[in-house]
Amino acid sequence: MAKIIDGKAISAAIKDEIKEKTQILFKEKGIRPGLAVLLVGEDPGSMAYVRSKEKTANELGFLSIVERVSDTISEKDVLAFVEKWNNDPTIHGILVQLPLPKHIDEHKVIRTIRPYKDVDGFHPENIGRLVIGLPGFVPCTPRGIMEMLRRSEIETSGKHVVVAGRSNIVGKPIANLLYQKNKYANSIVTIVHTGAKDIRQYTLQADILVAAMGVAERIKADDVKDGVVIIDVGMNRVDDPGKEKGYRLTGDVDFADVSPKASAITPVPGGVGLMTVAMLMQNTYDSAAGLLKY
């Protein structure tokens, strides 16, 4: 049976470390990491994520500011929030929760955030730094995956990693991170996506498979080889009348079908998703502590 890569345990350990370092930073330098979040509208998923971020920031001793505004807000007013926080020395991380309403240009908003406060890691400067291997903020989910691999001592050097998905949030950045000439990277990376006529042709080659397609239980046992390491990024709702809420959460991988063939696997829930919030806190702490030089 596959080893479970426990995102709950790993993220808890990381948050404990951040909390301790935050106390030291405040004691020695009088600095509290400050995280400002703007939530536009009432998308249920976004609201849940923001509540989790707010709760975690408070638990770690951060200065936490959350502005919740109507989805009728103008782009000008969204940019005004960003500029206010750009110029506030007590704010070390700025996050505008995506997606935004269609009348607001997400790319313009992201570009307005100062790169050294871009704790989501989406600013073009930070993406460029990631690609060429310079220090910068790394998007939270890919950074979380790298931490899971490192802390679980999964060998990546020389391994064939197949990334199923090409989003700017997960697929592209994790591919770039894994082929860097670093410890717990140095992999041979293939990206496969919906343009492939036969995805199985690629997934069967994977020593490590990162599934980030957003399709519930798309990866089956027949799609992977024995001994594969599975990193399941998916978080999908599937109707299930037997559950109290009427649905269950599942990943892009059919866990029950695939886990007997895998050497290690992340569960859903309890896997990568929990790491995303932990890495947002890590990025905010790194900003406050001045660990990244721009």
Per-residue pLDDT for the chain (294 aa), expressed as one digit of tens each? 799 999 999 999 999 999 999 999 999 999 999 999 999 999 888 898 999 999 999 999 999 999 999 999 999 999 999 999 999 999 999 999 999 999 999 999 999 999 999 999 999 999 999 999 999 999 999 999 999 999 999 999 999 999 999 999 999 999 999 999 998 899 999 999 988 999 999 999 999 999 999 999 999 999 999 999 999 999 888 887 878 788 888 999 999 999 999 999 999 999 999 999 999 999 999 999 999 888
Which residue is listed with tokens 């995102």? 7
- What SS3 class is residue 201? helix
**pTM for the full model?**
0.95
- Cis, peptide link before residue 99, omega less than 30° from 0: yes
Same fold for the pair 30-114 and 140-273: yes
Nearest to 98 by CA among 121, 80, 115: 121
Yes or no: say if 232 and 2 are a contact pair by the CB < 8 Å rule. Answer: no
Is residue 244 packed enough to be buried (19+ CB in 10 Å), middle (13-18) or exposed (0-12)? exposed
Residues annotated as catalytic (active site), given as ranges = 53, 97, 120
**CATH architecture group of domain 30-114:** 3-Layer(aba) Sandwich (3.40)
Distance CA 62, CA 31 (A): 9
> How many residues are listed for the chain in this entry?
294
Domain ranges of the chain: 30-114, 140-273
Distance CA 7, CA 95 (A): 23
Instruction: State the fold for domain 140-273.
Output: Rossmann fold (3.40.50)
Which residue is listed with tokens 């782009």? 75
Which residue is listed with tokens 């859903």? 268
Distance CA 283, CA 28 (A): 20
